[in-house]
């Protein structure tokens, strides 16, 4: 490269190379323009946005500090109070439900006892009814037997009387 530059410096083509280099740097080399734009943007950002961002961050810090120191304890206390109240209400409701369940259980037991007593009473009445039926059956059987006996006696007497008249 140095040889070429040395040759180019000595040759009449040197002004053409110099012009081509200038055209290249103006048309194709954008680094100086971009670097200028970057410097301008950083300068504008730092001057205009920098303080605003700092203020926003400071406000956020103050808000967080205030929340941690004041709002959070108030919320915790309110939550604690409300949860205690809710727990008391739930316990009262649970006690009421337990009492209702006990009453219902007692009523069911009472109903079951009444049902068993009615069933026993029905069975006792049925047994008594069956004994009465057996007694009545025995009475009817006895009356039937007596009636059959009377009829046998009556028929035997009628046969005896008939036998008296047949011998004539």
Backbone angles phi, psi at 30, to 5 degrees: -100, 0
pLDDT band at 164 (very low <50, low <70, confident <90, very high): confident
13 three-class SS: coil
For the chain, the domain total comes to 1
Q: Is residue 108 part of a domain?
A: yes
Tokens of 39: 């410097």
Across the range 85-100, mean pLDDT stands at 95
Does 6 map to a domain?
Answer: no
Mean pLDDT (the chain, rounded) = 84
Structure tokens at 79: 């939550």
The answer to whether residue 142 is domain-embedded is: yes
Confidence of residue 115 (pLDDT cuts 50, 70, 90): very high
Question: Is 159 contained in some domain?
Answer: yes
83's tokens? 């949860």
Residue 3 lies in a domain: no
User: In degrees rounded to 5, what are phi and psi of residue 85?
Assistant: -60, -45
Could you tell me which residue, 46 or 155, shows the higher pLDDT? 155
Mean pLDDT of 61-78: 88
Q: What gap in Å lies between CA 134 and CA 155, rounded to an integer? A: 30
Mean pLDDT to the nearest integer, 58-67:
88
Domain with 125, as residue range(s), is 50-167
**50: confidence class by pLDDT, cuts 50, 70, 90:** low
Whether the predicted pLDDT of 7 surpasses 70: no
Within a domain: residue 77? yes
């Amino acid at each position: 490269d140095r040889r070429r530059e040395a040759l180019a410096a000595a040759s009449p083509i040197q002004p053409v190379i110099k012009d081509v280099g200038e055209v290249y740097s103006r048309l194709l080399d954008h680094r100086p323009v971009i670097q200028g734009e970057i410097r301008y943007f950083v300068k504008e950002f730092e001057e205009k946005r920098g303080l605003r961002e700092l203020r926003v961050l400071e406000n956020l810090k103050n808000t967080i500090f205030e929340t941690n120191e004041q709002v959070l304890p108030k919320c915790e206390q309110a939550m604690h109070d409300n949860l205690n109240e809710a727990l008391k209400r739930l316990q009262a409701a649970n006690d009421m439900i337990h009492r209702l369940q006990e009453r219902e259980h007692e009523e069911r037991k009472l109903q079951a006892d009444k049902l068993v007593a009615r069933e026993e009473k029905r069975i006792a009445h049925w047994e008594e009814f069956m004994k009465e039926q057996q007694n009545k059956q025995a009475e009817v059987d006895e009356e039937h037997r007596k009636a059959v006996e009377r009829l046998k006696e009556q028929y035997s007497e009628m046969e005896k009387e008939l036998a008296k008249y047949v011998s004539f």
